[in-house]
């Protein structure tokens, strides 16, 4: 069962400020078309504790949640940053993946075994590692930990790697608003969590920015504590077909593995879909590529690379580090050439977000 609701058309919240110098605009660098983004300084969202002592790093570990690595998606992007740093530093990398029936105790034990084995920098990918990491970080104060997509772990040896998903989602929403011919677009989220509601809020705001009269239909595939919406392509396809039947002609799928079903439905019906995290045009089967308008890029590699390097060079900071358009932590994909005609408009919106002239909401 999925939840569908219609969004009214509130005015986009736009903050007008003094124009910034061209140097600030240059910091945006424009949206990227590859998951590997140029590295830049990350704004701090907490009062971090600076660890000034250089710490030799010989072993780095990545703990994935259930889906693991290999699908070309978010886990692979996070790994790419670790791999890049490991190659530069000449260090060992170990990867471990959770099982479907894992409990918090299982995840904690996985982190404990890595710390016991001498891994100096350990990354947990996904919010399910929050509780376990809070526990294990206290047991191993000399190990540096990072958690991707969660900012709730508070410890002097833990860094939260967060993203301004709403900013990248704003840009693909703007693309949807400029592309729709029915004036009805859709959003499909995997599970109705605050994290995914950031995608929804940014997407809706982007649609409003370029097409104030457009209707936005919103569907979530499951409700917590049911997380099946992340890995149910048939359900994603069913939900998308229902939206397309209801007049939608562009759908943004922030739905994990279920997004492949949305792309299939778009190809079947001759409509558009929008991918998430990675450049899904490059990953999708050839039969559906022609229906993927763009993808919202979430460059987890930027955060994981910087974390590993910071542990090695003594600049590690605890607290949350956020990556958005200003430091190329998010962006949009251009593969397929379907947004070539509107890139100037999208890039101008991105520059306005970086300059503070547009403030993107992070909740519906």
Strands 3-7 and 250-254: unpaired
How confident is the model over 296-318, as pLDDT tens digits?
999 999 999 999 999 999 999 99
In this prediction, residue 70 carries a pLDDT of 85
Identify the CA nearest to 82 among candidates 107, 104, 63, 67.
63
Band (73; pLDDT cuts 50, 70, 90):
confident
Sorted by where each starts, the structural domains of the chain and their CATH numbers stand as: 3-7+165-299+329-354 (3.40.50.2300), 59-164+301-327 (3.40.50.2300)
How confident is the model over 328-349, as pLDDT tens digits?
899 999 999 999 999 999 999 9
d(CA 301, CA 305): 6
**Residue 183 pLDDT exceeds 70:** yes
| Contact between 77 and 35 (Cβ < 8 Å) | yes
**2 vs 262, higher pLDDT:** 262
**Residue 218 pLDDT exceeds 90:** yes
**Residue 181 pLDDT exceeds 70:** yes
| Contact between 297 and 261 (Cβ < 8 Å) | no
User: DSSP of 125-192, one letter per residue?
Assistant: ESGGGHHHHHHHHHH-TTSEEEEET------TTEEEEEE-HHHHHHHHHHHHHHH-SSSEEEEEEEE-
**72 vs 69, higher pLDDT:** 69
With the CA atoms of 329, 289, 250 and 335 taken in that order, what torsion angle do they form, in degrees rounded to the nearest 10? 40
How confident is the model over 120-129, as pLDDT tens digits?
999 999 999 9
How confident is the model over 18-62, as pLDDT tens digits?
232 232 223 333 333 332 232 233 333 333 444 434 457 899 999
pTM of the model: 0.82
**Residue 206 pLDDT exceeds 60:** yes
Report, as an integer, the average pLDDT of 95-106: 92
**Residue 255 pLDDT exceeds 80:** yes
d(CA 127, CA 102): 14
In this prediction, residue 266 carries a pLDDT of 98
Report, as an integer, the average pLDDT of 173-196: 97
- Rounded to the nearest integer, the mean pLDDT of the chain is 87
């Amino acid at each position: 069962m999925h939840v569908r609701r219609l969004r009214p058309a509130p005015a986009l919240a736009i903050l007008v400020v003094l124009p910034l110098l061209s140097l600030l605009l240059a910091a945006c660098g424009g949206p990227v078309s590859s998951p590997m983004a140029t590295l830049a300084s990350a704004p701090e969202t907490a009062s971090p504790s600076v660890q000034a002592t250089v710490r030799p790093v010989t072993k780095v570990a990545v703990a994935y949640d259930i889906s693991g690595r290999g699908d070309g998606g978010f886990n692979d992007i996070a790994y790419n940053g670790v791999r890049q740093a490991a190659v530069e530093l000449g260090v060992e990398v170990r990867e471990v993946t959770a099982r479907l029936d894992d409990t918090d105790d299982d995840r904690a034990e996985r982190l404990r075994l890595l710390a016991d084995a001498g891994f100096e920098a350990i990354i947990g990918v996904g919010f399910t590692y929050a509780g376990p990491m809070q526990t294990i970080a206290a047991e191993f104060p000399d190990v540096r930990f990072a958690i991707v997509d969660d900012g709730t772990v508070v410890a002097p040896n833990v860094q939260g790697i967060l993203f301004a998903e709403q900013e990248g989602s704003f840009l693909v929403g703007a693309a949807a608003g400029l592309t729709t011919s029915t004036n009805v677009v859709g959003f499909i989220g995997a599970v109705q969590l605050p994290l995914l509601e950031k995608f929804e809020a940014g997407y809706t705001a982007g649609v409003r920015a370029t097409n104030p009269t457009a209707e936005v239909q919103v569907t979530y595939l499951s409700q917590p504590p049911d997380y099946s919406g992340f890995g149910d392509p048939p359900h994603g396809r069913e939900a998308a077909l229902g939206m397309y039947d209801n007049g939608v002609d562009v759908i943004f799928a922030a739905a994990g593995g279920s997004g492949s079903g949305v792309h299939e439905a778009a190809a079947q019906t001759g409509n558009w879909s929008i991918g998430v995290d990675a450049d899904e045009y490059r990953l999708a089967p050839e039969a559906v590529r022609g229906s993927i308008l763009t993808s919202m890029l979430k460059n987890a590699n930027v955060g994981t690379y910087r974390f590993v390097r910071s542990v090695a060079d003594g600049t590690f900071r605890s607290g949350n580090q956020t990556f958005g358009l200003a430091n190329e932590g998010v962006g949009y994909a251009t593969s397929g050439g379907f947004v070539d005609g509107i890139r100037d408009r999208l890039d101008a919106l991105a520059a306005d977000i970086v300059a503070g002239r547009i403030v993107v909401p992070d909740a519906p």
